[in-house]
Amino acid sequence: MKPQQLPSVPLFSSGPCAKRPGWANDVLSGAALGRSHRSKIGKAKLCEVINRSRNILGIPDNYLVGIVPASDTGAMEMVLWSMLGSRGIVMLAWESFGACWVNDVTNQLKLNNVQVMEAPYGQIVNLAEVDFSRDVVFTWNGTTSGVRVPDGDWILANRSGLTICDATSAVFAMDLAWEKLDVVTWSWQKVLGGEGAHGMLAMSPRAIDRLVSYVPPWPIPKLFRIVNGGKLNKGIFVGETINTPSMLAVEDAIDTLTWAEKIGGLITLINRCEANLAVIEHWVANSDWVSFLANDKSIRSCTSICLSIVDPAFLALSYFNQAIIAKNIAKLVEDEGAGYDIASHRDAPPGLRIWGGATVETQDINALLPWLDWAWGKVKPKITNFT
């Protein structure tokens, strides 16, 4: 039967993600609109985002933290274009964004001595085989596959290469091993539920040494230029952004960071995400039609929660028809106002994806799940039309 209860906030997109609980337009009333981002007030607000982020995440004092253009993608490409090429590289990929970085390094930068380690969606590479004499590039959490690294124990403390981590759907939701990460990138529109186009970058002293000692053989676009004339552009890390940021988005980031502090900081944010995953795990354990794309619990994401449809009739369909059925489920739920943007990523196997980040209330996840069962009950009798 059709469920009667709707989620209070039916927003389960994996980016941009739901705003923090209690958010309203008036939280932006203090934004420095119409002011230069280089004015005293503009720069102070940018620095506030940097400092609050550092404090909540527990980033080491000797790391630099800055705001950069073009979201997490801009931050990652800035790093790849500026730092790689002085030694061998290991590229780790288990979803579409990891594959994107592989393409950048192999087909755009056309670097040699690159080892690519890939795993199918829902799985992860053998982390014990990673060679840390090379630079290592990886995603902490695969947004499109629902797979995360289990911890930082696999990363050598005495590595000679750099570790470069795309952590955009992990930061503020998982316990990152900062001392083992030389470069970390993320954006505001994931776990903070912020607005797009702004990226963040944290760098260890080892990464900074690489920047000032290595000059890539290719030209660096202005938006990627962390080093000017052989010197680190320190302004990036004190609120002097390369391009003009949105002061409205900056104010929104400050609001959510303040909320995170008030509710207990990082540990509370992590617990909220894990609670959302736990609810879905309980539901899946009692379901006969759905399972996790990541079967291994130790690598299962608590933010980008990816689900597979495992009913035999569905599995007997072609990939094309599976995609149609999965999209129909998502559409039925959306048409009822019970959950928006829950279809799997276009590059992932047909299924569903529910964002469980810290801005999503567990009670809303609970309210969504009966609607998924209802939608499956509506589409299952129609599967025979596809065979």
Strands 135-139 and 290-292: unpaired
HSE-CB at 166 with a 13 A cutoff on CA atoms is 29
Q: Examine the pLDDT at 229 and tell me if it is beyond 90.
A: no
Bridge partners (DSSP) listed for residue 139: 166
Quick: pLDDT tens for 236-254. 999 999 999 999 999 999 9
Candidate from 81-85, 204-208, 229-233 with smallest mean pLDDT? 229-233
Q: What is the mean pLDDT of residues 264-287?
A: 98
> Which part of the chain has CATH 3.90.1150.10?
265-386
Q: Examine the pLDDT at 384 and tell me if it is beyond 90.
A: no
Predicted pLDDT of residue 387: 66
Q: Examine the pLDDT at 74 and tell me if it is beyond 70.
A: yes
One DSSP character per residue, 120-178 reads -TT----GGG--TTSEEEEESEETTTTEE-S-STTS-TT-SS-EEEE-TTTTTTS---G
Question: Whose structure tokens read 């008036």?
Answer: 26
Per-residue pLDDT band for 385 (boundaries 50, 70, 90) equals: confident
Quick: pLDDT tens for 303-332. 999 999 999 999 999 999 999 999 999 999
> Which part of the chain has CATH 3.40.640.10?
25-261
Predicted pLDDT of residue 218: 95
CA distances from 223 to 71, 131, 136 (A): 12, 31, 23
Predicted pLDDT of residue 151: 98
This prediction has a pTM of 0.97
Q: How many percent of the chain have pLDDT more than 90?
A: 98
Helices (H), the chain: 40-57, 71-83, 96-103, 205-213, 247-263, 266-285, 312-315, 319-335, 362-379
Quick: pLDDT tens for 353-367. 999 999 999 999 999
Average of per-residue pLDDT values in the chain: 97
Burial per residue of 92-101, b for 16 or more beta-carbon CB atoms within 10 angstroms, e otherwise: bbbbbbbbbb
Q: What is the mean pLDDT of residues 78-94?
A: 98
Its CATH class, for the domain covering 25-261, is: alpha beta
* Main-chain dihedrals φ then ψ at residue 223, nearest 5 degrees: -65, -20
Report the distance separating Cα 54 and Cα 57, nearest Å: 5
CATH topology of domain 265-386: Aspartate Aminotransferase, domain 1 (3.90.1150)
Q: Examine the pLDDT at 279 and tell me if it is beyond 90.
A: yes
